[in-house]
Amino acid sequence: MRTGEVLALTWDDIDLEKQIIKVNKTVYAKKSDETGRWYLGKTKTINSNREIYISDTLLRAFQKYKERQEKLKKFYGRNYHYYHLEQVKNEFGKVIEERIVETTRKSKLIEPLNLIFTRDNGFYMGTDIIRYPYKVIHNELEIINCRFYDLRGSYATKSLRNGVEIKDVAGILGHSNIETTENYYIFSSADNKKEATKTLESSIQSEVIDDIINNI
């Protein structure tokens, strides 16, 4: 998933029973004011609206994470941060975007936005929440050329190397055509190239070739 898609997820988007993630929105930032700066909007393209199946490993992680979040809500009590959506309309009264606003005592009756990825006390940071871990990755682990977004490329490359059809990978990534997946999301490393050579070698090995080499 794209970074904005991940950080826009709510528990309403996660079907733990059917093991499906429903991707239908993205989060983005605008100039900050007294009510914050995070907004929810449409995904990048029509094809970006998709369903992604949850693996058993991720399912366990979600289940444990949700349990932990519920415990934290009880631990922080009134100091836990809750949010809801506020519609933003243009001059003609049409809703053009939705703003993530912190819920106060006066607005408690408004339907809550059950955000997944927040700080322990519920505070929502949008895509800023990944800044600290990536500082560790860049500065302490010294993996400089690494972004959260790059995990999409890693997923595509590893899946295809293990026999997954490219059209299925493109669908999961939210690409309308496989050319985008092929041209921008598949990486070729030195190890991949060595493996390609070994694969070719194993397929063309024969006694004739061995005899020619031995008689050089």
* pLDDT, tens digit, 9 for 90 and up, residues 12-70: 999 999 999 999 999 999 988 877 899 998 888 887 899 999 989 899 999 999 999 99
Long-range contacts of 174-178 (CB under 8 A, 24+ apart): 174/1, 174/2, 174/5, 174/23, 174/43, 174/44, 174/45, 174/47, 174/48, 174/49, 174/50, 175/47, 176/45, 176/46, 176/47
pTM metric for this prediction: 0.77
Read off the pLDDT band of 191 (50, 70, 90): low
pLDDT tens digits for range 139-186: 999 988 888 888 888 888 888 878 888 888 888 888 877 777 776 666
For residues 155 and 148, what is the distance between their CA atoms, to the nearest angstrom?
12
pLDDT at 71 over 90: yes
Q: Answer whether 83's CB lies under 8 Å from 11's CB.
A: no
Q: Answer whether 149's CB lies under 8 Å from 2's CB.
A: yes
Structure tokens at 186: 């598949």
pLDDT tens digits for range 93-152: 888 889 999 998 766 668 889 999 999 999 999 999 999 999 999 999 998 888 888 888
- Domain ranges in the chain are 1-127, 147-216
Read off the pLDDT band of 210 (50, 70, 90): confident
AA letter at 91: E
Long-range contacts of 56-64 (CB under 8 A, 24+ apart): 59/16, 59/19, 62/14, 62/16, 63/16
For residues 52 and 55, what is the distance between their CA atoms, to the nearest angstrom?
9
For residues 174 and 186, what is the distance between their CA atoms, to the nearest angstrom?
15
Domain 1-127 has CATH 1.10.443.10: yes
For residues 213 and 209, what is the distance between their CA atoms, to the nearest angstrom?
6
Q: Which runs of E-coded beta strand occur in 36-134?
A: 36-41, 50-53, 83-89, 95-102
Read off the pLDDT band of 212 (50, 70, 90): low
